[in-house]
Amino acid sequence: MPEGAGRLYFMRNAKLTGKTKTNGHATRAEVPGDASHLFDGRFQIGIGVYDGLSALLAAKWKFDFMWVSSFCCSAAVGLPDAGIIGPEDILNVVRCVRRCVNAPIVVDLDSGYGDAIKAFHVVEAMARAGAAGLCIEDNPVSKRCSLYDGYERELASVEEHVSRLRAAAAGVKAAHSNCRIIARTEALVAGQGVEAALKRAHAYADAGADGVFIQSLDATGNEVLSFARQWKKKTPLFIAPTRLPHVSKKDFAAAGISHTIFANQGLRAAHTAMDQTFGKLANGESADCVTADISSIATVANLVGAQEVVELEAILAGKAVAGNPKSSKAPSKAPSAKRLGGGRRFKA
């Protein structure tokens, strides 16, 4: 299939037959969304997605995994990241992303959406939907996004969060999934310091967490790098360096961080692009004032697989597909991804 072309549902869920070089340091999973590939000892880069289109673009650029966050999903429906959207909203996004791409999906579950019983059921549903990793933070249920200013920060007790994590592990088991649980601590955001953050992270890892996510607002990067250098467990470390953009991937990897996530840059880029485009259209005389700055219809059509629908209709009707004269015979089974991807594309 040409790079960037979208895939139909049954094509997107087919097993990959070969390995493809990814973001310069890894290879894509051969089994779609398999959590074992997310935790295989490699340094990996994740990207924040919040709908099918952003997921397809992320797949085009071959990020190691997808990050579905409450920040982006909330903003996409015009709401703040303050625990307003529920698990059903996130679950719908996970299903959408799973339909579109084969890469592992890591999901931001806030603080688990309730007590341990609620966390169990939310985790089970997410695991059944195809999530490879589920991240649960030690905020209270009435969470406020760590990136928002002006809030007093309080955390759940270590005991309460350990209870959530154990319930989450039981939810994964109930789903018969190999999904992994990532424990996130907001101790640095709450101003409790590296020592307190390490204490919490050790408790969560000892309780069975498969990964630890450390969040920090320190723009120098010193806090999170210090935490990582003092982390002696083999439990993988995750970070989303939104507030410390100058720190490089190499710096994180050298400190011992295994997974770095560009969590919300895509949504923020889309916000800027739409704001500028809408402004030009509001003040311009015609749509031509933005034509040079936006994607063509054909570019979007190719990404989402519009031509593949045309080709599938032709195959099912017993007609030849352009570039494939042997395709006129109706198939006895669903066409393969390779076969459907071989036809012509819309001209950009």
Asked whether residue 40 falls in the same domain as residue 186, the answer is yes
- Which structural domain, as residue segments, surrounds residue 311? 295-348
Asked whether residue 168 falls in the same domain as residue 308, the answer is no
Query: What residue type is 54 in one-letter code?
Result: S
Q: End of a domain among 241, 263, 285?
A: 263
Phi, psi of 111 (to 5 degrees): -100, 20
Q: What is the pTM of this model?
A: 0.83
Q: Map 92-107 to HEC letters.
A: HHHHHHHHHCCCCEEE
Quick check: is 81 catalytic? yes
Q: Which of 51, 64, 81, 138 is catalytic?
A: 81
Asked if residue 310 is part of any domain, the answer here is yes
Tokens of 37: 């590939």
Asked if residue 206 is part of any domain, the answer here is yes
Q: End of a domain among 211, 245, 263?
A: 263
Length of the chain: 348
Distance from C-alpha of 228 to C-alpha of 331, rounded to nearest angstrom: 55
Asked whether residue 256 falls in the same domain as residue 120, the answer is yes
Distance from C-alpha of 106 to C-alpha of 118, rounded to nearest angstrom: 19
Asked whether residue 192 falls in the same domain as residue 304, the answer is no
Asked if residue 284 is part of any domain, the answer here is no
Asked if residue 269 is part of any domain, the answer here is no
Q: Which of 192, 249, 255 is nearest to 218 (CA)?
A: 192
Residue holding tokens 């507030």?
Answer: 243
Asked if residue 5 is part of any domain, the answer here is no
Asked whether residue 254 falls in the same domain as residue 316, the answer is no
Show pLDDT as tens, one digit a residue, over the chain (348 residues).
333 333 443 343 433 333 434 444 444 334 555 788 899 899 999 999 999 999 999 999 999 999 999 999 999 999 999 889 999 999 999 999 999 999 999 999 999 999 999 999 999 999 999 999 999 999 988 776 666 665 677 899 999 999 999 999 999 999 999 999 999 999 999 999 999 999 999 999 999 999 999 999 999 999 999 999 999 999 999 999 999 999 999 999 999 999 999 999 999 999 999 999 999 999 999 999 999 999 999 999 999 999 889 888 888 888 766 666 555 554 444 444 432 333 334 343
